[in-house]
Amino acid sequence: MMLAWISVHDHVVGGKLRELAKDIRCSQKEALGILVSLWLWGLNNADQTGKLRSCDKSDVAGAVFSNGLSEGLNKMEIVESLIAQRWIDENEEGDLYLHDWDTWQEQWYKFLKNKEYDAERKRAERARKKAEIMKKEQMGESSESNTKDNPTDSPPDDLADSPPDAKEKSKKAVKKKVVKKQYAEYVSLKEEEYSKLVYGYGEKATEKFIEELNLYKGSTGKTYKSDYMTILNWVTDKVNKKYPGLIRHPAPDGTSKEIQTQKSLEDNPFGQWKE
Looking at this protein, which amino acid is placed at residue 15? G
Pairing type for strands 88-90 and 96-98 reads antiparallel
The proportion of the chain whose per-residue pLDDT surpasses 70, expressed as a percent, equals 71
Q: Given this model, what pLDDT does residue 274 score?
A: 46
Q: Does residue 265 carry a pLDDT above 80?
A: no
Q: 274 in a domain, yes or no?
A: no
Strand partners, 180: none
Give tens-digit pLDDT for 162-210: 566 666 665 665 556 778 999 999 999 999 999 999 999 999 999 999 9
In a domain, 111, yes or no: no
**Largest alpha-carbon pair distance within the chain?**
116
Instruction: List, in sequence order, the alpha helices (H) in 85-221.
Output: 101-104, 106-149, 164-175, 191-201, 203-220
Name residues whose C-beta falls within 8 Å of residue 19's C-beta, 6 or more positions apart in sequence.
Answer: 85
pLDDT of 157 reads: 52
Enclosing domain of residue 98: 12-104
Is 223 within a domain?
yes
- Which pLDDT tens digit goes with each residue over 58-96? 999 888 887 778 888 888 999 999 999 899 999 988 899
Q: How many angstroms separate the CA atoms of 239 and 224, rounded?
A: 19
Three-state DSSP class for 90? strand
How confident is the model over 3-24, as pLDDT tens digits?
555 667 666 788 889 999 999 8
Q: What is the end-to-end Cα distance of the chain in Å, rounded?
A: 79
Rounded to two decimals, the pTM is 0.38
End residue of a domain, out of 38, 73, 104: 104
Q: Which of 104, 139, 159 is the last residue of a domain?
A: 104
Domain stops at, among 104, 135, 157: 104
Question: Residue 199 in contact with residue 250, Cβ under 8 Å?
Answer: yes
155 lies in a domain? no
- Distance, CA of 247 to CA of 260 (rounded, Å): 15
Q: Which residues pair with 189 in a beta bridge?
A: 181
Q: What is the mean pLDDT of the chain?
A: 79
The verdict on residue 250 lying in a domain is: yes
pLDDT digits (tens, 9 = 90+) for 19-32: 999 998 999 999 89
Within a domain: 241: yes
Tell me if 151 is assigned to some domain.
Answer: no
The domain total for the chain is 2
